[in-house]
A and B are shown apart, each in its own frame.
Chain A
Amino acid sequence: MAVAFDEMNIPGGDLRPAYQELARWLKETPPEALEYRRQEAELLFRRIGITFAVYGEAESTERLIPFDVIPRIMSGKEWALLEKGLKQRVRALNMFLRDIYHGRDILRAEIVPDDLIFQNPVFRPEMNGQQVPHDVYVHIAGIDIVRVDAENFIVLEDNARTPSGVSYMLENREIMMRLFPDLFARHRVAPVERYPDELLSALRSVAPQSASGEPTVALLTPGVHNSAYYEHSFLADKLGIELVEGRDLIVKNNEVFMRTTEGLKRVDVIYRRVDDDFLDPLTFRPDSVLGVPGLMSAYAAGNITLANAVGTGIADDKAIYSYMPDIVKFYLGEEPILKNVQTWRCREPKDLAYVLDNLGDLVVKEVHGSGGYGMLIGPAATKATIEAFREKLKREPEGFIAQPTLALSTCPTCTASGLAPRHVDLRPFVLTGSKRTTIVPGGLTRVALKEGSLVVNSSQGGGTKDTWILDE
C-alpha cells in the first residue's frame, strides 16, 4: 500500500499552507495543555449528553464518540471544488430518483441494469408515479469523501436515506470555540452555525401545496433508544420544531396531525429519521410500532412531505454507486467533478474472478451493509477470515462489491504517544430545497484512532474532529 497523503506535512518537512498557523500554535502549546483540553472536551460531551447508543449492548449504554481536539483544515480553494462537485452529484441523485420512479429513461438507455433496481429490496414500488413536491427526493444528503492526494477527493459513499452526524459537526465546532478561542483568533474559519436555518428553510420550501400559510415541520424520531437520538433532539431544538414519535402522530382524512395539549394540529413536512421499513405499518412492516398508520396514504394524497422521500435508498445502494459517474453524465451531460473509487461489481463474473484472485488486497463490502459491519479489509485480515469471505462471495456474489484499499489521507491526531498521523474521511451535508442546493462549509471529519486503521465508523471505535474551511 502506498504511503498515505498527509494533510499537514509534505514529506521532507515542509508544511502545507493551510496548516502553518496551527503548526506554530502547536509548537507554543505544551502537550499537557492539549491533554487537559481533551479531558475538558470529554467532560463537556458527557455533560451535554452528546452520546450514541451501540446496538446489541444493554439499552442503557450510551457511548461518547471520541473527540480529537486537533482540527482538520482545508483551504477555501479546496472547498470550492468540493462544493461544486457535491452539488453536481446531489443534483444527479435527485434526477435519478425522479426518473427511476417515473419515466425510467436511464433504464431504457441501458446505463443501469433493470434488475439492480427491480430486484433491489430498497426499491419502493409504492413510489412509482408518485409526485413528490418540487421533485426533491434527497433533501439531506451526507456524502462520504476521502482524500488520496493533494488534488483528488473521492466519493466513498452517498448517504441518501437518513444520513446522520451533522450534530457532531455543529457540536464539535461549539466545543472547539469554547476550548480554543485563541486558535480561532489566529484563523479565519468559515462558520457552520447556519446549518439549522438552512435546513429549516429547505424543509419549509418543499411543503405540499395543501399546507396553509406557514408550513408546520416536525422531526420524526424512532425514540430515545435509537443510536442517533441525541442528534434528533439536537436538531429539533435548533430548528425550533417538534420532535415527534410515531405515537404522537395520527392520520385523519389523509392528513397528518400531531396530538398536542390544544388538540390535533396539522403537520405539513416531516423530517423523518425513521427508515422506510418502519414508516407506516399499513404499507411496510406491519409489526412496526415506530411509524404512523396511514402515513403513506397521506403521502400519496399529497398532504405531507417526507424528507428524505420514501425510496431514496435505491440511490445510495452500493450496487448503484458504481454507476454514479454514468448517472451524472446521463442527466447533466457533464463530467463528474468528484471521482468514484474504482469498484468491482461481484455480480459480474469477470469482476468476481478478479476479486477472488485479489482478496488480500481489496476491501469487500456488503451491497446493503452500513456502519462498517460485515466488510472485509483484505490487507488487514487473517488468512482464515479471507477464506471464509471467499466462500460467502461465491455463495452470493451479487451481495458484494469490492474496492481497492485506498491510501486515505491522514491528519495529525492526539494519541497516547503524542501527535501522530491518523486516517480521516469527511462527510459534508448537502441540503436541497425547492429552489436551491446549499452546503455549509465543512462537514463531519471522522478519524480512525488506531494506528494504521482505515475504519472511521463510530460503531467501530472511530472518533471525530472539527473541520475547518479557511475563508481566504
Chain B
Amino acid sequence: MLSRTAENLYWLARYVERAEYLARTIDATLRVTALPAAYIGKTNEWDSALLTAGVAASFYQTHEEANEHNVVDYLSFSADNPSSIRNCIEAARLNSRSVRTALTSEMWDTINSAWIELQAVWSRGTSTREDLAKFLRFVQETSLRFDGSAYRTMLRNDAYWFSRMGVHLERADNTARILDVKYHVLLPEEEHVGGPLDFYQWSSILRSVSALTAYHWVYRETLKPWLIADLLILNDTLPRSLASCYGNLVRNLDQIGVAYGRQGPAQRHARGIRNRLEHSNMNDIFQHGVHEFIQEFITDNSRLGEIITKQYLI
C-alpha cells in the first residue's frame, strides 16, 4: 500500500475518533453543569473540558474566561481550533477523498454524508440546547457508523489495520487525558467517597468514555475512584481502557508484521507498553502516582505514533 494512503487512513480514523470524543466530553460537561451548584461546587467544568481536549492554552490566547457558550463553540465549531469537531470532520473528509480507493463505499458515504449534513450546521449554528444535543448525537452516530462500516465492509488487510491503529492510538490518548485531568479527584483506596460533588465528577468521567453502565456490570459497586482508574487503565474487557487499546495495537501491528514478513521498532515499542500495563496493578500505580503514570503513558503513546509514522507512513 502507498505510504500516503496508510497515513491518510490512520489519520482519518484518528480524526473521527477525536470528533466523537469531543462530542462526548461536551455532552458529559453539559450534564454536570446542569446540576444545581450544591452538587457540583465551584469548579469550572468548562475549564476542565478544555484541559481534557488539550486545547486550554490555545483557547486562552483569544478568550478571557471559559463558559458554556464559548467553550462549546470553540470545541465544536471553531475554525481556528485545529482540533474542533468541525475541523476534525473537515480533515476526515479531505483525507477520505484522497484515499477513496482504499475506503469501502459505506465508509465514504458515512463521512461524506456527515460532512454535507454538517455544512448546514456550521452555517446555521446551534441556537438551542436541543440543537446542540442533536448535533452532538449526530457526531457520535457518525463515528459509530464509520467504525461499524469499517468493521463490516473492509478487507482484513493492511488498510484495515492501519486505520484500526489510528482508532486505538487516539482512543488511548483520549482516555489517558481525561484520567490525567481528573487525577486530582482520584483518591487512594482508603478514602471514603465524598459527597455528591465527587460522585458527579466521576460519573462524568465514565460518561465521557461511555463506560458508566460497564462500571456497574464489572464492579457491582457504587462509584469509587480506585475502581474507576482500574477500569479505565487496566481492565482489558473495556474497549476504551488503555489495556484494551494496547491489546489491539499490538495485534494490529503483529498482523502487519506477518503480512509484510518483518517486524520493527513499532512492534517492539507497542509490546513494551502493553507488557507494562499487563504487569501493573492499581496499588503500584497509586504508589508511583497516578499523574506520573499517566504522563508517562501519554508520552509513550505519542512516541508510538512517531515510530509508526517513521516505519510505515513516510
B83-116: CB near A (< 8 Å → 1, else 0) gives 0000000000010011011000100110011001
Interface SS of chain B: helix, strand, loop or mixed? helix
Report B1-16 CB contacts with A as 1/0, cut-off 8 Å: 1111110000000000
Which B residue sits closest to A259, measured CB to CB? B3
Q: Is the Cβ of A237 less than 8 Å from the Cβ of B4?
A: no
Answer yes or no: B51 CB below 8 A from chain A CBs: no
Confirm or deny: B313 has a beta carbon within 8 angstroms of a beta carbon on chain A: yes
Residues on the A chain within 8 Å of B135, using CB: none
Contacts of A229 in B (CB 8 A): 97
Establish whether residues B3 and A49, one from each chain, have CB atoms under 8 Å apart when the complex forms: no
Determine whether A305 belongs to the interface, using a CB cutoff of 8 Å to chain B: no
Q: Do residues B2 and A224 form an inter-chain contact, with CB atoms below 8 A? A: no
Measured CB to CB, the closest approach of chain B to A145, in angstroms, equals 31
Whether B200 is near chain A, meaning CB under 8 Å from some CB there, is no
Say whether A261 contacts B101, CB under 8 Å: no
A114 shortest CB reach to chain B, Å: 44
Partner of A259, one of B2, B105, B112, B113: B2
Cβ contact within 8 Å between A261 and B98 = no
Chain B interface size range: 20 to 34
Number of interface residues of A (CB under 8 A): 22
**A236 vs B99: C-alpha distance in the bound complex, in angstroms?**
11
- In the complex, which residues 147-184 of chain A have their Cβ closer than 8 Å to any Cβ of chain B? none
B312 within 8 Å of A by Cβ?
yes
- Tell me the nearest residue of chain A to B162, going by C-beta: A261
Task: Flag whether B260 is at the interface (Cβ < 8 A).
Answer: yes
**CB within 8 A of A47: which of B97, B98, B109, B260?**
B109
Residues of B within 8 A of A233 (CB): 97, 100-101
Distance in angstroms between the alpha carbons of A259 and B158 in the assembled complex: 15
The A306-342 residues at the B interface (CB cut-off 8 A) are: none
CA distance A450 to B94 in the complex (A): 33
Report A26-85 residues with CB < 8 Å from chain B CB.
46-49
Give the chain B neighbours of A245 by CB distance below 8 A.
Answer: 4
In Å, the complex CA distance between A259 and B312 comes to: 10
**Residues from chain A with Cβ under 8 Å of B116 in the complex:** 46-47
Q: Which residues does chain A contribute within 8 Å of B314, judged by CB atoms?
A: 259
Q: How far is the CB of B105 from chain A (nearest CB, A)?
A: 8
Q: How far is the CB of A274 from chain B (nearest CB, A)?
A: 15
| Cross-interface CB contact of A237 among B101, B113, B260, cutoff 8 Å | B101
Residues of chain B within 8 A of A223, CB atoms compared: 98
Evaluate contact between B113 and A260: CB separation under 8 angstroms: no
Q: Is the CB of A261 within 8 A of B158?
A: yes
Given contacts A49-B108, A261-B260, contact A237 B3 (CB under 8 A): no
**Contact string, A372-385, partner B, CB cutoff 8 A, digits 1/0?**
00000000000000
Are A260 and B101 interface neighbours, CB within 8 A?
A: no
Tell me if B100 and A259 are in contact (CB < 8 A): no
Determine whether A262 belongs to the interface, using a CB cutoff of 8 Å to chain B. Answer: yes
Q: How far is the CA of A245 from the CA of B5 in the complex (A)?
A: 11
Contact among A47, A236, A247 with B4 in the assembled complex (CB-CB below 8 Å): A247
A261 in contact with B6 given A49-B97, A224-B94 (CB within 8 Å): yes
**Closest chain A residue to B5 by CB distance?**
A242
Residues of A230-265 whose CB lies within 8 A of B: 233-234, 236-237, 242-245, 247-248, 258-262
Report the nearest A residue to B111, measured CB to CB: A49
- Residues of A within 8 Å of B108, CB to CB, are 48-49
Contacts of A260 in B (CB 8 A): 1-3
CA A224 – CA B95 in complex, angstroms?
9
Contact in complex: B158, A243 (CB < 8 Å): no
Name the A residues within 8 Å of B112 (CB-CB).
Answer: 47-49
The residues of B that contact A49 with a CB separation of less than 8 Å are 97, 100, 108, 112
User: Which listed residue (A48, A224, A234, A248) contacts B3, Cβ 8 A?
Assistant: A248
A contact residues around B113 at 8 Å (CB): 47
A234: chain B residues at CB < 8 Å are: 100
A248 B97 Cβ-Cβ under 8 A: no
Interface hits, A277-326 → B, CB 8 Å: none
Smallest Cβ-Cβ distance to B260: which chain A residue: A262
Cα(A261)–Cα(B2), bound, Å:
6
**A261 near B97: Cβ-Cβ < 8 Å:** no
Question: Chain B residues near A47 (CB, 8 Å)?
Answer: 109, 112-113, 116
When distances are taken between beta carbons in the complex, the residues of chain A under 8 Å from B162 are 261
A221: nearest chain-B partner, CB-CB:
B98
Contact of B101 among A46, A48, A224, A236 (CB under 8 A): A236
Q: Chain A nearest CB: distance from B119 CB in Å?
A: 9
Q: Which residues of B contact A259 (CB under 8 A)?
A: 2-4, 314
Q: How far, in Å, is A241 (CB) from chain B's closest CB?
A: 8
CB distance from B111 to the nearest CB of A (A): 9
Known: A224-B94, A261-B260. A244 touches B2 (CB 8 A): yes
Known A47-B109, A47-B113: A258·B2 in contact at CB below 8 Å:
yes
| Cα–Cα, bound, A49→B101 (Å) | 13
Q: Is the CB of B2 within 8 A of A242?
A: yes
14 A-B pairs with CB atoms under 8 Å apart are A46-B116, A47-B113, A47-B116, A48-B105, A48-B108, A234-B100, A242-B101, A243-B100, A243-B101, A245-B4, A248-B2, A260-B1, A260-B2, A261-B313
10 more A-B contacts (CB under 8 A) besides A233-B97, A259-B4, A261-B158? A46-B116, A47-B109, A47-B116, A49-B97, A49-B100, A224-B98, A245-B4, A259-B2, A260-B1, A260-B2
Q: Which 5 A-B pairs have the closest CB atoms?
A: A233-B100, A237-B101, A261-B312, A259-B3, A236-B101
